[in-house]
Structure 1
């Protein structure tokens, strides 16, 4: 018996298949999931998601979201899931720079929702850049 993983973004189902293990970027730290894991629901932060399928390790940059874990299935709902080949390093750097500049120009009384949005853009850009650069070296 194996573990079934589904990774879903608002645009599409990114992956659905059998895996032997999954590493998720939980808000309280990285979580390793194996078959038979206790049921849980956890928030995810932007970072790296890794899974092993058919002896091959696959790594993705993911955004914020949630993971629902049962003993035989993991559902990942996230606002971004990109493999290394899908990441445009220049675009990610530009998005991060724009968000940092906008954040730096905001006043103390500005909208907290806008601040959170900009911080999310920065976190997702960093996740993409970290994945791209680690695999380049």
Structure 2
């Protein structure tokens, strides 16, 4: 049985979502129009650091945390601001952004290059 390669899934997701450059994402957050949502695993946060002020919503819980009907709902994610999803390299964030769009959210985007690009550009890390 053949499966769809994850790279193909990521490329399809990226064709259907909004991707912001690190500069665009930082500007939206600084202007108060967006919040960063870091979907990396807690071990990645501990090892590599995190974006200052980012909400941590692990990828495995994201859909449950954004759904107001879920017993796991997190109020921090119930906002009119744009949620800018961030992972290590913008693959998980692309798939997660597409999933949230499929759930009916229109205030969601991903950050191109992910945390790796952010850090490589010398941007602040906690």
Q: TM-score, normalised by structure 2?
A: 0.25
* Structure label with greater radius of gyration: 1
**Higher RCO, Cα 8 Å, sep 6+:** 2
Q: Which has the higher strand share?
A: 1
> What's the TM-score, normalizing by structure 1?
0.23
Name the structure where helix makes up a greater proportion of residues.
2
